Structure 1
Amino acid sequence: MITKLSHAMVYVLDQESAKDFYTNKLGFELRSDITMGEEFEGSGQGFRWLTVGPPNQPEVEYILADCAMGHSPENSEAIRELVAKGAIGGGVFATDDCHKTYRELSERGVTFLAEPAERPYGIEAVFRDDSGNWFSLTQAR
């Protein structure tokens, strides 16, 4: 039986830049930053396992994954292209005060695609990470 979600993957164009964005701009905690061996990838080079998460949600980790992780070169390039042009939504982040969080994140340099607005489900703003992934920032009703 599945009991909970523990990890979610977000493909990023540059893991070091993404680490800075998620920790310094969004305020997430660094959870893991290790290099896995070739036995996991078969490439002989291994890969970087980089995870972050919101400070008040220690049971959830977002994997900031290189687009090549687990993919053929052709699929890796297709994923990179989709991420870079902003075609992939990464999910919804909850906040108690959308307007306040919008102001705080804007001051830290986060790019918003939509300012906070009333929706049937609450107040929502939409932002992009430094790779191009977009996220909803939502204050529930």
Structure 2
Amino acid sequence: MTTTLQYTNITVDDVDESLPFYRDALGLEVKNDVSSGGFRWVTLGTDAQPGLGIVLSMPHAGRSQGDGDALQELLTKGVLPMLVFSTDDLDATFESVRASGAEVLQEPMDQPWGPRDCAFRDPSGNTIRISAAS
């Protein structure tokens, strides 16, 4: 039996505002773009991991008003779980993301627990870490 991750979701304030960060700065490809009921879900991915989709959506997309409000509050506080990407060229990726205007939280550095990594905030305030592929 094999189990793999197929989708992960990133909650954002505005899908259109977040797309340039994930598509252009991180180099992910738009794989699917679906609208329904006034909301939008955009799935991004990379050929390096063909079975994994990263879905951008707003807090109220597909949720009750109360759940969407609670998720919006967590997003506003910046306390939603972070995503960690890996790259084969950390310095070039760092420069690409920084050039996009993203908020730099940490420049590339060797971490005491092992990886060399850096960190940014996406346009909605989500923490994104990028580590050097091992």
TM over 0.5: yes
The unaligned stretches of length 5 or more in structure 1 are 37-44
TM-score by length of 1: 0.82
What is the RMSD of the two structures over their aligned residues, measured on CA atoms?
Answer: 1.9
Distance 1:140 1:29 in 2: 20
1:1-141 residue pairs with structure 2 within 5 A? 1=1, 3-36=3-36, 45=37, 47-119=39-111, 120-141=113-134
2: distance between equivalents of 1:90 and 1:58? 21
Pick the structure with greater CA Rg: 1
Aligned partners of 2:85 and 2:6: how far apart in 1?
15
Structure 1 outlier segments of 4+, above 4 Å? none
The CA distance in 2 between the partners of 1:100 and 1:20, in whole Å, is 17
Percent identity between matched residues is 33
1:86 aligned partner, one-letter code = G
- Per-residue deviation, residues 11-54 of structure 1 (Å, max 9, x unmatched): 11111112232112222100111224xxxxxxxx2642311113
User: TM-score normalized by structure 2?
Assistant: 0.86
Which stretches in structure 2 are left out of the alignment for 5+ residues? none
Per-residue CA distance 1:67-98 (angstroms, 9 max, x = gap): 11232212211211211232123321001232
